[in-house]
Structure 1
C-alpha cells in the first residue's frame, strides 16, 4: 500500500504502554488484560483514511500499542495472509516531514517515523489493544516501499474470530496456536543500535511529540507531577465549541458531584425527614431513603474529604457526559415554533439533592423541561430549595417526585390492568409563588407530575442504576419505564460501578472460588472484601455471592438475562474521614447489586435501546485528554477543581475512580419486552377499585377500606408528630379531604 493521497477520515491518539508492561503473555491473553492508564504515553497524533473499518463502527479514537510479535511468527503470517480474510487492511499515517511544517507537526511526524523505522529494523508488528467492538489490530511498516516511514499498514479484525481461526484443526493452525502459547516479542533494551537513548518503548521526555501532552492533566504516577501553573478557573473559560454562538461550558465546583450529597446549609432535617417508618416497599429503596434523607453534609465541609478530588473527577465525568449530549429526537423538532435543535426535555433519575441542575442549565441547548426523581424524600426537599435559587435558569419549569425507580412508574400506567396513573408525591416550581421560602410541600399527583403522553429527550441516572439490579423483574421494569418515557433518538446516560474491574479484583484476591460442597460450613460473618484507595473504598461480598458471580458467567452464555445474574449483592463503602456528623464520615454504606455491562446491554436492547459506549472512567478520560480535541472538557478539569496543587489527583483517588464506568444508550425503537406479572405487588393504596365503585366524588359513605387509605395519606402528608398533636375534628377534616381526592 502506498502513502495515502486521499483526505484523512479520523484523527487518533497513538499511545504506547511503558516498557515494563509490554510483551507480557500471549497475544490473546494480553488483549484481555486491563490497561493501566498510568503506564500509557502518547507517541503521536495519527490519521486513518476511508479504507478503515466502518462496521460495526469506525476505529477507536485511541490506538494503543500493548506489545509486539515477530513478523515470522506463524500466527502473524496466518492472520495477515490476504486469502484468509481474518483482518481488514487499512492505512494510518502522519504528515510527511517537510522543512515548511510547523515545529509541532515536525515533531509529530518524526516520532511516528522513529516508531515505524524501529518496527522495520527489528522485523516485528505492533499489537493494538481491543476496542469497544471487540476488535484488535496489528500494525506493520509499508510492504511496498521500504523507505516509507510516515505511514503504516494497519490490520483490524474481530478478536474472537481471529482466535477461532488461529486455533483451527489444520497443521498451520496448530503451529500458529503453538506460537501463541509463547510470550509476545520482548522489546530490546533502553538503547538502539546506535546507542541513542531514545528507545521508542520509553515514555517520551521533553520536546518532540511529547509536547502534545504539555499542559494536560496526567494520571498520578510515582514520579513528580507536572506543574500546570493554573492560577484560577477564569484562566480556562473560553468557548468550548467551534460554533461561537453557543455559550461556553464552564461548570463551577458547586456542581462538581451530586455524590457529595450536599444539603442546604441553612435548613435542618424535620421530624418527617428523619422518620424511620417504611415508605417504600422495596427494602433497598427504603434503606436508601433513610440513609440519604438523613445525610447532613454541606459544601463547607466537602473540602475536608480525603476523596475531594476523586469526587470532583466523578463530577467531571458526569458534566462531560451531559455536555456531549445532542439527542436527535423527531418529537422535539415537531414542537410548535421550534426549528433546528430545540431545548431538551430532561428526566433526571436518582437526582438526589439536585447537584446536577447546574450542569443541565449551562448546556448549549438549554432545557424546556426538567423532572427529577429520587427515592430519598429528604434529598428532594433540598433539591427543591436549590431549584428555587435558579428559578430563572430553569424557566420556572422543574418538578421533583418521590419514586422508587424499580417499582414506581411516573407518567405511565403501571400495568395494562390499570386505568389510572399511580399517585406519587411531587413538588413543582410552577405550583408555588416565586417568593416562597418555606419548606417545599410535596403532594400526591397522578403520574408524579408527568403526563400520560409526555416524553423526554434525555434520561439520566447517575451512580444509581445498580439499585435496579436486585431482581430481573425490577431491572426489566426500570428499562421498560425508561423506554416508554424516552423519545426515539433520545439518550439514556448512566454512571455506576464497573463490574469488570470488580470481578478482576475479586479474582486477584486468591480466594478458593471452587467452594467445594463437602467443605466445612461457611462462617456466616465471613466477607470477601475488595479494597481501593488505601482502604478508603471497600466492596464487601458474602462468599455465597462470590460463588454466584462466577456461576452466573456460565449462565449468561445460555441466557443473557438469566435470573442468577441478578441479585449479586455487595456493600459499598466510601470513607472520607472519621466524622460523619461534620460531613466527612462514611459517604456511602449501602447494599448495591453488581451491574455487568453485557447485562445492561441486553436489558436495553429488549427495551429498544442501543448501547453507544460503556467506558471505564479511566478510558473515558483518556478519550478526552487532548486539549486541542476537547478544550471544554480540559478546562473543566480546572473549573471543577479536579486537580490538586500538583496538577493531578492522589494515586489513591485515581485507583478508586477506576472502579466506575460511564454508559450511554440511544433509543432506536419501541420496547418489545413483556413485563412479568405484577399482580402480587398491587399497592394497598391503589384507588382504581374505588373509582370503579363510585361516581360520586364527595361520597362520605365510602367503605372502611378506603377510609383507612385516606387516613394513611393524610397522616403521611402532615407528618407523624404533627398528626399526633391534632384534634379529632382536624384529623377528620384532613381525612375527608384525602377521601374526596381518592374518590375523584
Structure 2
C-alpha cells in the first residue's frame, strides 16, 4: 500500500502564493503537488479497516443528526449559542441571496430557477428558497428523520401561499451525497440546475478521496454551465493556527471545543479527523478540508473557484446591505454603554470588544449601543468560511 500523504501544521498554515486571489493553504514543496495528485487519483478501495471505518463514520453522522431534537423558541433563546446560530443563518441568507441575484440577472425573465440543497438537514434554508422565488428544489440529506422534518416544514411554509403566487415545487429523498449518485434518485435525471448549495456539511466528504470525488460529481453532474456551487465550511487554516497556539490536540471555550483524532503534526490530505462539540449538541466527527485539494478536485468537474471568504471578512463585506436583516433575524446581541441587564453572558469580559468599539466611536456622546456577539460565540463563528464555484465549459488551468 502506498504511503498516505500528510500535511504538517505548517503546511496547512502556509499561504497560497501561486494563487493570490484564493485564501487557500499552500504545501511547502513543489513535489508535493505530484504526491497530492497521486492520493486524489487513488480509487480508495482498500480492503478491511479503512473502508469499513469510513462507512461506519457515515452511520455515526446520520445517527447524530437523526437524534437531534427540535427545540422550542424559548429553549433556543436561552441557549449560549442563540446569537451564534442566528449569525450563521444570516451569513447563509446573504450568500444565498447574492447568488440567486447573480443567476436571475443572467437568465431570461420567466426561465425556471432550479436548486439542489445538498445535505439540507431539517430544511433550515427553505424560507430562503421561498423568499428567493425559485422554481424547483431538490432536498437530500443522509438523515432520514431530517428529511421527514424538512418535507413537513416545506408543506407548512407553502400551505398558505396565495393563488397568485405559485409556490416552488420540491422533491425530497435520503441519500449519502459522499457515496451515492444523486442523479439516479432525481424524479427527472435530465434536470438542469442553476445552483447547488451545501451549508456546513461539505467537510464530511473529505474523509477520503473517493467520497470527495463523489460529492463533487453530484454537484457538477446536473449543474448548468454558468451555474454556481456555494457553501460554508470550517477554515482548516484557522483551525490549525489555533491548534498550534494552544499547543494541544484540543482547544476551544465554553461554547465550542475541537479535539483532534488525527495527529496534528502528521495530517493527511483526506481523513484529517477531529471531534467538534458545540454547546448543547453531541460531539460529531468532522474532517479538515485541505483547500488546495478541494480546488484541484473541483477543476476536474469544471468548477472554477470564484471566492472563498472567512466569516469575519464576509460580515464586513455584507453588513452595509444586510444590517436590517441582522436585526430582523436577531443575529447580534444589543450591547449598551448605559447598562446591560439582559445580556446572554454574565462575564463582562465577553463584551469588552464591544465596549472598546463604542468608546472608540465617541461612546457616551455619540454612540451608546451596538450589535455584537459574545467573545466566545465570535471565536466559534470565525472558525468558518464561505466558498463559491462556477461551472464553466472546458478544462480549467
Instruction: Tell me, yes or no, if structure 1 residue 361 matches structure 2 residue 130.
Output: yes
1:5 maps to what in 2? none
- Shift of residue 370, structure 1, vs aligned partner: 0.5
The Cα RMSD (Å) is 2.6
- Shift of residue 670, structure 1, vs aligned partner: 5.8
- Shift of residue 328, structure 1, vs aligned partner: 4.5
2:273 maps to what in 1? 569
Instruction: Tell me, yes or no, if structure 1 residue 454 matches structure 2 residue 201.
Output: no
Shift of the 353–530 alpha-carbon distance from structure 1 to 2, 3 Å rule, reads same
Partner secondary structure for residue 663 of structure 1: strand
Shift of the 454–343 alpha-carbon distance from structure 1 to 2, 3 Å rule, reads closer
2:96 maps to what in 1? 322
Shift of the 305–381 alpha-carbon distance from structure 1 to 2, 3 Å rule, reads same
- Shift of residue 302, structure 1, vs aligned partner: 0.9
For residues 390 and 670 of structure 1, the distance between their equivalents in structure 2, rounded to whole angstroms, comes to: 40
1:24 maps to what in 2? none
Q: Deviations over 1:6-35 (max 9, x none)?
A: xxxxxxxxxxxxxxxxxxxxxxxxxx999x
Structure 2 regions of 5+ residues with no counterpart?
1-12, 24-52, 336-370
- Shift of residue 329, structure 1, vs aligned partner: 9.0
Largest Rg, 1 or 2: 1
Matches within 5 A, 1:300-315: 300=73, 301-315=75-89
1:668 maps to what in 2? 392
- Shift of residue 133, structure 1, vs aligned partner: 5.0
Matches within 5 A, 1:411-430: 411=183
Matches within 5 A, 1:235-254: none
2:154 maps to what in 1? 387
Matches within 5 A, 1:192-207: none
Partner secondary structure for residue 547 of structure 1: coil
Q: Deviations over 1:625-672 (max 9, x none)?
A: 3x3xx2xx1111101101213121111111111101111111112689
Shift of the 476–589 alpha-carbon distance from structure 1 to 2, 3 Å rule, reads same
For residues 133 and 590 of structure 1, the distance between their equivalents in structure 2, rounded to whole angstroms, comes to: 29
- Shift of residue 495, structure 1, vs aligned partner: 0.5
Partner secondary structure for residue 546 of structure 1: coil
2:375 maps to what in 1? 651
CA contact (8 A) 1:457 1:486 kept: yes
Q: Deviations over 1:411-440 (max 9, x none)?
A: 2xxxxxxxxxxxxxxxxxxxxxxxxxxxxx
Partner secondary structure for residue 204 of structure 2: helix
1:591 maps to what in 2? 285
Shift of the 614–396 alpha-carbon distance from structure 1 to 2, 3 Å rule, reads closer
Matches within 5 A, 1:629-644: 630=321, 633-644=322-333
Instruction: Tell me, yes or no, if structure 1 residue 295 matches structure 2 residue 68.
Output: yes
State which of 589, 608, 622 in structure 1 corresponds to 2:316: 622
Q: Deviations over 1:51-74 (max 9, x none)?
A: xxxxx9xxxxxxxxxxxxxxxxxx
- Shift of residue 132, structure 1, vs aligned partner: 3.3
- Shift of residue 390, structure 1, vs aligned partner: 2.1
- Shift of residue 290, structure 1, vs aligned partner: 1.2
Partner secondary structure for residue 669 of structure 1: coil
2:265 maps to what in 1? 547
CA contact (8 A) 2:192 2:223 kept: yes
Partner secondary structure for residue 508 of structure 1: helix
For residues 21 and 82 of structure 2, the distance between their equivalents in structure 1, rounded to whole angstroms, comes to: 31
State which of 351, 369, 377 in structure 1 corresponds to 2:120: 351
Partner secondary structure for residue 595 of structure 1: coil
Q: Which of the two has greater helix per residue?
A: 2
For residues 104 and 54 of structure 2, the distance between their equivalents in structure 1, rounded to whole angstroms, comes to: 35
Shift of the 670–348 alpha-carbon distance from structure 1 to 2, 3 Å rule, reads farther
CA contact (8 A) 1:410 1:450 kept: no
* Structure of greater relative contact order (alpha carbons < 8 Å, 6+ residues apart): 2
Partner secondary structure for residue 58 of structure 2: helix
CA contact (8 A) 1:406 1:468 kept: yes
1:415 maps to what in 2? none
- Shift of residue 281, structure 1, vs aligned partner: 8.3
For residues 386 and 110 of structure 2, the distance between their equivalents in structure 1, rounded to whole angstroms, comes to: 25
Q: TM-score normalized by structure 2?
A: 0.73
Number of aligned pairs? 310
For residues 281 and 507 of structure 1, the distance between their equivalents in structure 2, rounded to whole angstroms, comes to: 27
CA contact (8 A) 2:22 2:307 kept: no
CA contact (8 A) 2:251 2:259 kept: yes
1:377 maps to what in 2? 144
- Shift of residue 546, structure 1, vs aligned partner: 1.1
Q: Deviations over 1:660-697 (max 9, x none)?
A: 1111111112689xxxxxxxxxxxxxxxxxxxxxxxxx
Structure 1 regions of 5+ residues with no counterpart?
1-31, 35-55, 57-130, 135-279, 334-338, 412-446, 512-527, 550-563, 576-584, 673-744
- Shift of residue 397, structure 1, vs aligned partner: 1.1
1:487 maps to what in 2? 224
1:342 maps to what in 2? 111
Partner secondary structure for residue 247 of structure 2: coil
Shift of the 294–671 alpha-carbon distance from structure 1 to 2, 3 Å rule, reads farther
